[in-house]
């Protein structure tokens, strides 16, 4: 088995055994929205913003077992106000010709050497989700979708 495969299996186990159950305890639920490029199911705590875990990005690095990417997806082809565009908030994700969704990606590091920081990573993920959701609501972007 390659390092890439081993890291992906390890990350999936951490996400399925720890992060998803803990997020569900915080009020998240399985998302019904399929991500256009990630195979795994996502989570949501509302109707508009969805969260997914990217198991493959960076898995070929030697420390690839210490982190993963969380992707927050606003799966609507709507025009967002400039104040919620950019690397701090949302960038585009092309889904088909002429259409795009909005996404935000965060590197989540849950282990530093031998020290596990699972709770800190969980708190960060929840805080980032709420920050992005609130930014969308304040910008009235969520009122543009049906």
Question: pLDDT for 48-87, tens place per residue?
Answer: 999 999 988 877 677 777 888 999 999 998 999 999 998 8
**φ and ψ at residue 143, rounded to 5 degrees:** -80, -10
At residue 72, the 3 state secondary structure works out as: strand
Claim: this prediction has a pTM higher than 0.85: yes
HEC readout, 123-146: HHHHHHHHHHHHHHHHCCHHHHCC
Q: Which two tokens stand for residue 60?
A: 């070929």
For domain 3-140, give the fold: Yope Regulator; Chain: A, (3.30.1460)
Q: How far is the C-alpha of 98 from the C-alpha of 75, rounded, in Å?
A: 14
Question: pLDDT for 101-124, tens place per residue?
Answer: 999 999 998 887 667 789 999 999
């Amino acid at each position: 088995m390659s390092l890439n495969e081993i890291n992906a299996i390890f990350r999936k186990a951490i996400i399925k055994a720890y992060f998803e159950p803990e997020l569900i305890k915080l009020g998240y639920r399985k998302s019904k929205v399929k991500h256009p490029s990630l195979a795994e199911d996502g989570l949501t705590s509302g109707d508009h913003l969805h969260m997914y875990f990217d198991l493959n990005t960076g898995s070929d690095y030697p420390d690839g077992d210490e982190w993963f990417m969380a992707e927050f997806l606003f799966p609507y082809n709507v025009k967002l106000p400039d104040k919620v565009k950019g690397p701090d908030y949302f960038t585009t994700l092309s889904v088909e010709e002429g259409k795009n969704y909005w996404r935000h990606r965060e590197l989540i590091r849950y282990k530093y050497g031998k020290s596990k920081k699972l709770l800190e990573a969980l708190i960060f993920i929840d805080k980032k989700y709420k920050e992005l959701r609130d930014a969308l609501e304040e910008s009235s972007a969520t009122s543009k979708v049906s």
